Amino acid sequence: MSTKTRVEAKPMPINIGIEEQDRREIAGGLSRLLADTFTLYLKTHNFHWNVTGPMFRTLHVMFEEQYNELWTANDLLAERIRALGVYAPATYKEFGKLTSIAEEDGVPAAMVMVRLLVEGHETAARTARSVITTAENANDAPTADLLTERLQVHEKTAWMLRSLLAEETPNAAAQGA
């Protein structure tokens, strides 16, 4: 008769120069950004599949580029959370509790899709911005760099999408010439 003793693996302590409380607080902010990013990824992919109208091809291709970028960002954010010693949220239930971006019911018109994506990217930018100071104060340069990169992507994408919604107006300088 053999007696096997179950051995629990004790994780090795993390000693990367960031206090545990700071790591947990930063990971919490990154988890909110991951939830926003994943929700925005799903919304963008949904719109890619379901867009119709005169700008179909333009929007279909643009949304595909955007959801591919967001998919990659999900992995970067989750891996940074793990590097800080915290488990990354990874279920719809967890994302639903953490995200600031609402899901859509039905299929909106193409320009409403664009407007909703602008709002989503602006929300994700605000979430990223809310965590930067915590990361900087903890001397967590890798997280601050990642958040800065995410801010740049979300702000640029919002600008590009917002430009599609602009009404064409004559350039005042051109009119005076």
**pLDDT tens-place string over residues 39-72:** 999 999 999 999 999 999 999 999 999 999 999 9
Q: What CATH number is given for 20-165 in this structure?
A: 1.20.1260.10
What's the predicted TM-score (pTM) here?
0.88
Longest dimension (CA), the chain: 98
Predicted confidence (pLDDT) per residue in 80-94, tens digit = 999 999 999 999 999
Q: Which residues of 42-58 are buried (b: 16+ CB within 10 A; e: fewer)?
A: bbbbbbbeebeeeeeee
Domain spans, the chain:
20-165
